[in-house]
């Protein structure tokens, strides 16, 4: 079986939010908020190893992206605030390119 593509993951992410692919008709479709839809994907990645682990949700805009190809992960182990202080917890997370809300310094 070939690996699931980014397009398929995005389609599934949209499906969980109630946006059906073209041509699909379904009554009582799921309508999860974006953050909860990603929790389903996360479970399939991390707990069941069904989906590739490289897809992350941008903490700023909620967009799904391939973290092996783009984006940044910020945490207190790898980055500091511009003033040299510890990264605030509210900024810890994955961001796709152009979406990181702060300037930071790599440690």
| Residues at the site binding Zn ion, with contacts judged by CB under 5 A | 58, 60-61, 63, 96, 99
Q: Please give the C-alpha separations between residue 11 and each of 19, 21, 48, 82, in angstroms, as whole numbers.
A: 8, 7, 19, 37
For residue 52, the minimal CB distance to Zn ion (Å) is: 19
Hey, how many other C-beta atoms are within 10 angstroms of the C-beta on 65?
Answer: 22
Of the pair 18, 101, the CB lying nearest Zn ion is at 101
Which residue, 63 or 104, has its beta carbon nearer to Zn ion?
63
Q: Considering the complex, what minimum distance in angstroms separates the CB of residue 80 from Zn ion?
A: 22
If phi > 0 it is left, if psi is from -120 to 50 it is alpha, else beta; for residue 45 that is alpha
DSSP state of 51: S
Beta carbon of residue 90, minimum distance to Zn ion (angstroms, whole number) = 15
Please say which residue, 51 or 100, places its beta carbon nearer to Zn ion: 100
């Amino acid at each position: 079986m070939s690996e699931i593509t980014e397009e398929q993951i995005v389609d599934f992410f949209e499906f969980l939010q109630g946006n059906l692919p073209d041509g699909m008709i379904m009554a009582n479709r799921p309508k999860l908020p974006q953050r909860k839809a990603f929790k389903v994907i996360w479970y399939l990645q991390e707990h069941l190893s069904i989906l590739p682990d490289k897809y992350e949700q941008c903490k700023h805009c909620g967009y799904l992206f391939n973290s092996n190809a783009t984006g940044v992960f910020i945490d207190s182990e790898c980055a500091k605030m511009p003033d040299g202080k510890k990264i605030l917890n509210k900024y810890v997370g994955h961001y796709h390119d152009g979406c990181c809300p702060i300037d930071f310094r790599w440690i």
